[in-house]
Amino acid sequence: MLRAMKRVLIVPALMLAFQSQAATEDLDSLLTSIKADIQNQRLSSPAGNNALERISAFREQAPFDFRVVPLTYEWGEAYVALANKAIANGQMDKAQGYLDKVWYVASLTPGLEEAQAKIDAGSKSKGAKKASTKQVAKAKGPSKEELARQKKVAAAAAKEKARLEAERKRKLEQAKKEALAEKKRLEAEKKRKQEQERQRRLAAAKAEKEAAAQRAAAAKKAKQSGKKVVAKAAPAPVVKVAKKASAAEIKGAKSLWQSAKENTAPLASYPVSAEMIANRDRSIANDLEPVCKAILDNDASVVVHTPEKADYRWLTVRLTLCLRRLDRSFRLRHSHQLAQEDQPIVTLHPSRGVSLVRQVER
């Protein structure tokens, strides 16, 4: 009877152990395949056999396993090397295509900023050549009336810029105050938990001291009565072992991302050419420049409304590059929502101190 019960308990435990070992071996195999793909320049092609797809598969299976992070940056460095080679050959569009992939997947890759700066410098020099050609062709300068009109427009623009700058500083100051209040709250919470832990340890030490005194008293009493007392061994401490993310935890993480929606009213809305997005036309940068200036002036976050997730990723990279040309220190917070119609739009929202996921967690 006892043997049968032992077999009933042992078999499920062995099955769980085998499943856990198989999952670990599968992740290890993915890491090995990613390394081989990077070494053989299978970065994002061919389909079904490249490093980018395997990196995405690893993240989906084990979102809390950070062993894939160094390989992600190796993947990004491989594309940066290809981009530098293309820049040296004068193939700026090809180099930009390489960097676009890195900006979306691993924007902190070493060398990415420098490679992008080379392409930006090349674009500026081309623009300067075009401008000089137009100046030579234009023999007659602007009239007095035109100059006066331009001065009037410039003065109005300067006034509006000063107003927006004052508003931006006010918002920054408010954000700093809120961040300071949050920091104080976290520090108070940390001190509270530390005090709780200190009290717990004092209580545990007191209980152990009392138990030791009881054991000593029992031993003394037994000695006086002539009996031999065997001290009981103290129970072994319980060690918590960090467990791997379960399927439920992975599902919960995905659900958290899906529920991270922008719930503030938009400050402004900008339609974007669906045709240029579909054709991946990089000249869309000219149309995005007013949007980027508005984002900087309002210190805003954005929601990109597109019918396809791939369109959102491409347009987000274009916005990021546009903002970098205007202000390298600005970091864009963005999220995606499916467009209600075929017309893609970009909506501006108040600046967020934390990501949408952190807001959902609260």
The pTM of this model reads 0.42
**pLDDT tens digits for 213-229?**
999 888 888 888 765 54
Q: Classify residue 237 as left (phi > 0), alpha (psi -120 to 50) or beta.
A: beta
pLDDT band at 319 (very low <50, low <70, confident <90, very high): very high
More confident site: 280 or 9: 280
CA dihedral 239→244→247→253, nearest 10 degrees, is 100
**136 vs 352: which has the higher pLDDT:** 352
> Above 60 in pLDDT, residue 80?
yes
Please state the rounded mean pLDDT for residues 85-107.
92
Q: Residues 318-343: what's their mean pLDDT? A: 86
Q: In what order do the strands lie in the sheet with 345-349?
A: 268-271, 345-349, 301-306, 334-338
pLDDT for res 185: 93
Look over the chain and give the mean of its residue pLDDT values, rounded to a whole number: 81
Q: Which of 136-145, 152-161, 222-231 has the lowest mean pLDDT?
A: 136-145
266-278 pLDDT, tens digit each = 889 999 999 999 9
Averaged pLDDT for residues 278-303: 91
Higher pLDDT, 121 or 258: 121
The string of pLDDT tens digits covering residues 27-74 is: 899 999 999 999 999 999 999 999 999 999 999 998 888 898 999 999
Q: Are the CB atoms for 44 and 60 separated by under 8 Å? A: no
Q: 119 with 99: CB under 8 angstroms?
A: yes
Taking the C-alpha atoms of residue 72 and residue 313, their distance in angstroms, rounded to an integer, is: 18
Q: Give residue 320's pLDDT band: very low, low, confident or very high (50, 70, 90).
A: very high
- Which pLDDT score, from 0 to 100, does residue 70 have? 92
Average pLDDT rounded to a whole number, residues 199-212: 92
